[in-house]
Structure 1
Amino acid sequence: MPLTNDWPSPSGYLLCFKPCNLLTATGVRIRARKGAVKAQAKHEPTVFRDQLLKHVASAPPGDYDALYERLVQAGVTLEMLKYADEMFDVLIIGGLLQPGGDLLQDGAPICTFALVLQPGDKEVREGVEAINKLSRRYKYLQKPLEERALPKLFQYGHKWPADQRDKLCHATGLMIAMGLVTPAALNVMTKEHLIKDDVSATMLARIFKSFLGEQTMDQLATALRKGGVRDLVPFFVPSKRTPAAMQDWFKDKGVPAVAEWWAKRQSVAARELLIATVKEHAEAEEGTDAIVAAIKAWQTAHPGALVEPADALVSAVWQALMSSVDWASARPDQIDALALREITKYAPVLEPFCSTAKTQVGLINVVQVHCYEDTRLMKAFPQILKVLYNLDCVSDKAIIYWHQKGAKPQGKQHFLKATEALVKFLQEQESEDEDE
Structure 2
Amino acid sequence: MNNQKQQKPTLSGQRFKTRKRDEKERFDPSQFQESIIQGLNQTGGDLDAVTKFLDASGAKLDYRRYAETLFDILVAGGMLAPGGTLADDVTRTDVCVFAAQEDLETMQGFAQVFNKLIRRYKYLEKGFEEEIKKLLLFLKGFSESERTKLAMITGILLANGTLSANILSSLFNENLVKEGVSAAFAVKLFKSWINEKDINAVAGSLRKVSMDNRLLELFPANKQSVEHFEKYFTDAGLKELSEYVRNQVCIGARKELQKEIQEQVLRGEPFKDIIFYVKEEMKKSNISEQMVITILWSSVMSTVEWNKKEELVTEQAIKHLKQNSPLLAAFTSRGQSELTLLVKIQEYCYDNIHFMKAFQKIVVLLYKAEVLSEEAILKWYKDGHLAKGKSVFIEQMKKFVEWLKNAEEESESDEEEEAEADEES
- Please say whether Structure 1 and Structure 2 have the same fold, judged by a TM-score greater than 0.5: yes
Greater alpha carbon shift after TM alignment, 233-242 vs 49-58: 233-242
- The residue number in structure 1 matching 2:295 is 316
Please point out which of 71, 74, 77 is paired with 1:91.
74
- The residue number in structure 1 matching 2:189 is 207
- The residue number in structure 2 matching 1:52 is 36
State whether structure 2 residue 249 is matched by structure 1 residue 271. no
Q: Secondary structure at the match of 2:328?
A: helix
Deviation, structure 1 residue 69: 2.9
- The residue number in structure 1 matching 2:213 is 231
Please point out which of 374, 379, 387 is paired with 1:401.
379
Deviation, structure 1 residue 172: 1.3
Q: Secondary structure at the match of 2:341?
A: helix
Q: Any idea what the Cα deviations from partners look like across 1:252-286, whole Å, max 9, x if unmatched? A: 44444444444444343333322222121112222
Please point out which of 319, 323, 341 is paired with 2:319.
341
**Does the CA contact (< 8 Å) of 1:368 and 1:415 recur in 2?**
no
Letter in 2 for 1:417: K
- The residue number in structure 1 matching 2:172 is 190
Please point out which of 132, 135, 140 is paired with 1:150.
132
Q: Partners in 2 of 1:323 and 1:355 — Cα distance?
A: 23
Q: Secondary structure at the match of 2:305?
A: coil
Deviation, structure 1 residue 298: 3.1
**Structure 1 residues 183, 372: closer, same or farther in 2, change over 3 A?**
closer
Q: Partners in 2 of 1:76 and 1:374 — Cα distance?
A: 60
Q: Partners in 2 of 1:33 and 1:414 — Cα distance?
A: 85
Letter in 2 for 1:315: T
Q: Partners in 2 of 1:90 and 1:371 — Cα distance?
A: 62
- The residue number in structure 1 matching 2:369 is 391
After TM superposition, the structure 1 = structure 2 runs for residues 159-308 of structure 1, keeping only pairs within 5 Å, are 159-227=141-209, 229-232=211-214, 233-301=216-284, 303-305=285-287, 307=288
Q: Partners in 2 of 1:131 and 1:298 — Cα distance?
A: 48
Q: Partners in 1 of 2:381 and 2:411 — Cα distance?
A: 15
Q: Partners in 2 of 1:60 and 1:259 — Cα distance?
A: 42
Q: Partners in 1 of 2:342 and 2:407 — Cα distance?
A: 15
**Structure 1 residues 234, 415: closer, same or farther in 2, change over 3 A?**
farther
Q: Partners in 2 of 1:209 and 1:134 — Cα distance?
A: 25
**Structure 1 residues 316, 34: closer, same or farther in 2, change over 3 A?**
closer
Number of aligned positions between the proteins: 397
State whether structure 2 residue 335 is matched by structure 1 residue 357. yes
Greater alpha carbon shift after TM alignment, 316-325 vs 415-424: 415-424
**Structure 1 residues 434, 166: closer, same or farther in 2, change over 3 A?**
farther
Q: Partners in 1 of 2:249 and 2:399 — Cα distance?
A: 38
Q: Partners in 1 of 2:8 and 2:345 — Cα distance?
A: 75
Task: Give the fraction of aligned pairs with identical amino acids, expressed as a percent.
Answer: 26
**Structure 1 residues 265, 419: closer, same or farther in 2, change over 3 A?**
farther
Letter in 2 for 1:53: I
Greater alpha carbon shift after TM alignment, 346-355 vs 134-143: 134-143
Provide the TM-score with structure 1 as the length reference.
0.79
Provide the TM-score with structure 2 as the length reference.
0.81
Q: Partners in 1 of 2:372 and 2:414 — Cα distance?
A: 18
Q: Any idea what the Cα deviations from partners look like across 1:205-259, whole Å, max 9, x if unmatched? A: 4333323333344443343344453532323333443344434544444444444
Deviation, structure 1 residue 322: 1.4
Q: Any idea what the Cα deviations from partners look like across 1:349-368, whole Å, max 9, x if unmatched? A: 12222121211222222223
Letter in 2 for 1:51: S
**Does the CA contact (< 8 Å) of 1:396 and 1:426 recur in 2?**
no
Larger Rg: 1
Deviation, structure 1 residue 192: 0.8
- The residue number in structure 2 matching 1:11 is none
**Does the CA contact (< 8 Å) of 1:344 and 1:387 recur in 2?**
yes
**Does the CA contact (< 8 Å) of 2:39 and 2:53 recur in 1?**
yes
Please point out which of 118, 124, 139 is paired with 2:122.
139
Deviation, structure 1 residue 86: 1.7
- The residue number in structure 2 matching 1:28 is none
Q: Partners in 2 of 1:194 and 1:390 — Cα distance?
A: 60
Letter in 1 for 2:195: G
Q: Partners in 2 of 1:140 and 1:189 — Cα distance?
A: 25
Q: Partners in 2 of 1:361 and 1:266 — Cα distance?
A: 26
State whether structure 2 residue 392 is matched by structure 1 residue 410. no
Letter in 2 for 1:320: S
Deviation, structure 1 residue 115: 0.8
Q: Partners in 2 of 1:378 and 1:174 — Cα distance?
A: 50
Greater alpha carbon shift after TM alignment, 92-101 vs 264-273: 264-273
Q: Partners in 1 of 2:136 and 2:2 — Cα distance?
A: 38
- The residue number in structure 1 matching 2:408 is 427
- The Cα RMSD (Å) is 3.2
Q: Partners in 2 of 1:143 and 1:352 — Cα distance?
A: 54
Q: Partners in 2 of 1:415 and 1:326 — Cα distance?
A: 25
